[in-house]
Amino acid sequence: GAGVSQSPSNKVTEKGKDVELRCDPISGHTALYWYRQSLGQGLEFLIYFQGNSAPDKSGLPSDRFSAERTGGSVSTLTIQRTQQEDSAVYLCASSLLAVLGEQFFGPGTRLTVL
């Protein structure tokens, strides 16, 4: 079956521009997570959506980062006024039910800020 999909796979942008990254979770999965993977920092949690509950934004590194999830399915991570330190691979994961724990990851979006 279809897994988690993310687009674009690669994004190159100039410092100061805004970017939007998209995640399509596995159909029927109610929980959706965004992580960031960078050299030296490993995999870091950013934000988590569970059903219609308020998202857990505790991992967002600054107010330049935001995310939304429309209709309980597709999610968009937006980074405003990108900085070079935002360069990383942004990974999305989904889970059938958050309480089950296991999360399935998409291929990621590689963001390069010049």
Partner 1 sequence: QKEVEQDPGPLSVPEGAIVSLNCTYSNSAFQYFMWYRQYSRKGPELLMYTYSSGNKEDGRFTAQVDKSSKYISLFIRDSQPSDSATYLCASNNAGNMLTFGGGTRLMVKP
Collapse the DSSP code of 98 into the 3-class scheme (helix H, G, I; strand E, B; otherwise coil) and give the result.
helix
Instruction: Please give the structure tokens belonging to residue 21.
Output: 């990254």
Instruction: Single out the segment in contact with partner 1 by CB under 8 A; choices: 13-21, 64-72, 73-81, 106-114.
Output: 106-114
Among 54, 70, 71, 102, binds partner 1 (CB under 8 A): 102
Whose Cβ is closer to partner 1: residue 80's or residue 105's? Answer: 105
Distance of CA 49 to the CA centre of its chain: 11
Are the CB atoms for 93 and 4 separated by under 8 Å?
yes
Using CA atoms in the order 30, 106, 9, 16, what is the torsion angle rounded to 10 degrees? 60
Give the binding-site size for partner 1 (rule: CB under 8 A).
25
Question: Shortest CA distance to 80 belongs to which of 23, 15, 32, 24?
Answer: 15
Instruction: Single out the segment in contact with partner 1 by CB under 8 A; choices: 13-21, 60-68, 74-82, 94-102.
Output: 94-102
Residues 40-79 as x/- pattern, contact with partner 1 by CB under 8 A: --xx-x--x-x-----x--x--------------------
Among 69, 75, 108, 113, binds partner 1 (CB under 8 A): 108
Does position 87 interact with partner 1 (CB under 8 A)? The reply is no
Return d(Cα 71, Cα 73) in angstroms, integer: 5
